[in-house]
Structure 1
Amino acid sequence: MADRDHLADHRLELIMSELSARGECRTRQLAQQFQLSEMTVRRDLAELETRGLLRRVHGGAVILNRDVEYARRLELASAQKQQVGRAATRLLKSGQTVYLDAGTTACEMARAIGQGLPQVTHLNIVTHGISIATELAGRTPYHLQLIGGEVYQNALSTVGPVALAQIADLKIDLFFMGAGGVDATQGWSNSNHVEAVIKRAVIARSKSVCAICDSAKWGQQSFAPILPLAGLRRWIVDRGLAREGVEAARVAAITLTYAEDL
């Protein structure tokens, strides 16, 4: 039964990854691409529809929670994201190798780094976020490495086999990780499979992981799981975090660091 469930989950991930890239797909095309029966694809699409991730249409499906374009998400960046991003820079120390995720909160962190960090004389910064690298290039004295690979345009990030191979060679002191959602049941999750794979690869090469997610992410479940709630030990968040989130973090032994206090 466990193997069957694992295979079903894998099929759902494949279908959602394709939908995230295309926005819509035909049942016949999915069946041919993944070597499945059309009946199996229809059943999987029905399951994904019950989860609120897509809407079935005649002959296929359209995605409902497709990533907002990166530039638009930056426009929508809240004051809380800015607070969290700036606060995260207070954890930086000279000599570290740090990895910045590709999300909008990490972009706020990059902007803060670009404004100068008097307490940090030398730093190695790695990222697969193209906008993160753009924010930092030419604005800091620190060593900057942009991971190569295929460009995932919805997030302006690099993904795929080349990116994963480069990440596998890294030794990271601290990973500043973003997420599309976090709750006590699913843990940390992301809205697309390709980014979740990158995050898990970075986690595997990191001594420590710090979540940088504003309070609005609490109680949200995105499609692709990253790691369980207790899979990291520190979360920088604003004081708008709901009481349930505070309690869940306590149970999971996560240290909450409030952005307003840094």
Structure 2
Amino acid sequence: MLASQRRRRIAEELARAGAVRVADLAIALDVSEMTVRRDLERMQEAGVLVKVHGGAVPAGRSAEEPGFDVKLERATAEKSAIAKAAVNLVPPGSSVALSGGTTTWSLARLLPSVPGITVLTNSLSAATELHRQRPAPSVVLSGGVRTPSDALVGPIADAAIRSLYVDLLFLGVHGMDPDAGYTTPNLAEAETNRTFVANARRVVVVADASKWRTVGLSRIAPLEAADVVITDEGLPLEARRALSEVTELVVAPLGPGSIREVG
């Protein structure tokens, strides 16, 4: 098969699936992984795609960062269910960190029900919501430069977070993928989130099912970096199996019923 034919096949699969993996392409095209990587490099130079860890995504998608208000309208029932499951993990009197995101914002609305907690966050929206509640918990806002997702990032945010240690981090992500791990489109936000992860005793990723196989431009951490992943019933079986192999998986029900743990 000619290089041009391979690259056309890759582009077709990318359009169909929204992401491609090097290992899968090597099998499908009956070539080495090195050959696939060279094809991806040429296609990236042509502006067709963006290479990520283990594969590639369409150009423009991995760096696309929807605004907070746009994301707030997506998967609202799922995020609410995830937040209800997440708040049950918060012990009274603990220190809790919230990263930016609309799922963590949903959780911020419920956290004041837990007595005596201190919340560290880089999310302006979450901090505003926490201050609006009565009784309001103690809130520490990191400072930094604002992103489209309403998060504060950069050296100031990183330094503030690095100086504190929390019992529990609730991490919102743009995508989660077996090869790419947890990702975000924003390079600075990825660094700030990595600082959060490093300074938390326990990491809980909160992500609705649509985040599976979505890959952002910058990696935050591998899947196994999370102690717990909380998602919703829409997560496919193959995703449940993959996550359960590396972390505790909690599936929050959208309807009546108790929270189900897998693995």
TM range (shorter): 0.7 to 0.9
Query: What percentage of residue pairs aligned between the two structures are identical?
Result: 29
> Residues 114-125 of structure 1 correspond to what in structure 2 (within 5 A)?
116-117=112-113, 120-125=114-119
> Residues 160-179 of structure 1 correspond to what in structure 2 (within 5 A)?
160-179=154-173
Alpha-carbon distance between aligned partners in 2 of 1:238 and 1:247, rounded to the nearest angstrom: 14
Distance 1:82 1:43, change over 3 A: same
Alpha-carbon distance between aligned partners in 2 of 1:64 and 1:141, rounded to the nearest angstrom: 37
| Residue among 141, 144, 150 paired with 1:146 | 141
Q: Tell me the equivalent position of 2:45.
A: 46
Q: Given that residues 230 and 249 in structure 2 are in contact (C-alpha distance below 8 angstroms), is that contact kept between their aligned partners in structure 1?
A: yes
| Residue among 41, 49, 70 paired with 1:72 | 70
Is 2:84 the counterpart of 1:90?
A: no
Q: Given that residues 99 and 176 in structure 1 are in contact (C-alpha distance below 8 angstroms), is that contact kept between their aligned partners in structure 2?
A: yes
Question: What TM-score do you get using the length of structure 1 for normalisation?
Answer: 0.74
Alpha-carbon distance between aligned partners in 1 of 2:96 and 2:63, rounded to the nearest angstrom: 30
> Residues 237-256 of structure 1 correspond to what in structure 2 (within 5 A)?
237-252=231-246, 254-256=247-249
Alpha-carbon distance between aligned partners in 1 of 2:131 and 2:141, rounded to the nearest angstrom: 10
Question: Secondary structure of the equivalent of 2:205?
Answer: strand
Alpha-carbon distance between aligned partners in 1 of 2:68 and 2:122, rounded to the nearest angstrom: 14
- Count of aligned pairs between the two proteins: 208
Question: Secondary structure of the equivalent of 2:182?
Answer: strand
Which amino acid in 1 is paired with 2:94? Q
> Residues 1-262 of structure 1 correspond to what in structure 2 (within 5 A)?
46=45, 49-51=48-50, 52-54=57-59, 65-113=63-111, 116-117=112-113, 120-139=114-133, 140-152=135-147, 154-252=148-246, 254-260=247-253, 261-262=258-259
Structure 1: which 5+ residue stretches go unaligned? 1-41, 56-62
Alpha-carbon distance between aligned partners in 2 of 1:101 and 1:164, rounded to the nearest angstrom: 12
Q: Given that residues 174 and 207 in structure 1 are in contact (C-alpha distance below 8 angstroms), is that contact kept between their aligned partners in structure 2?
A: yes
Alpha-carbon distance between aligned partners in 2 of 1:134 and 1:44, rounded to the nearest angstrom: 44
Alpha-carbon distance between aligned partners in 2 of 1:129 and 1:53, rounded to the nearest angstrom: 28
Question: Secondary structure of the equivalent of 2:88?
Answer: helix
Question: What TM-score do you get using the length of structure 2 for normalisation?
Answer: 0.73
Alpha-carbon distance between aligned partners in 1 of 2:69 and 2:234, rounded to the nearest angstrom: 25
Alpha-carbon distance between aligned partners in 2 of 1:50 and 1:209, rounded to the nearest angstrom: 31
Q: Given that residues 77 and 104 in structure 1 are in contact (C-alpha distance below 8 angstroms), is that contact kept between their aligned partners in structure 2?
A: no
TM-superposed CA distance for 1:48, in Å, is 5.8
Aligned Cα root-mean-square deviation (Å): 2.1
Structure 2: which 5+ residue stretches go unaligned? 1-40, 51-56
Alpha-carbon distance between aligned partners in 2 of 1:171 and 1:123, rounded to the nearest angstrom: 14
Question: Secondary structure of the equivalent of 2:110?
Answer: helix
Which amino acid in 1 is paired with 2:251? Y
TM-superposed CA distance for 1:50, in Å, is 2.1
What whole-Å deviation, never above 9, does each CA across 1:177-232 have from its counterpart, x for those lacking one?
A: 11111111111111221111111001111111001001111111111111111112
Question: Secondary structure of the equivalent of 1:172?
Answer: coil
Which amino acid in 1 is paired with 2:144? G
Distance 1:247 1:136, change over 3 A: same
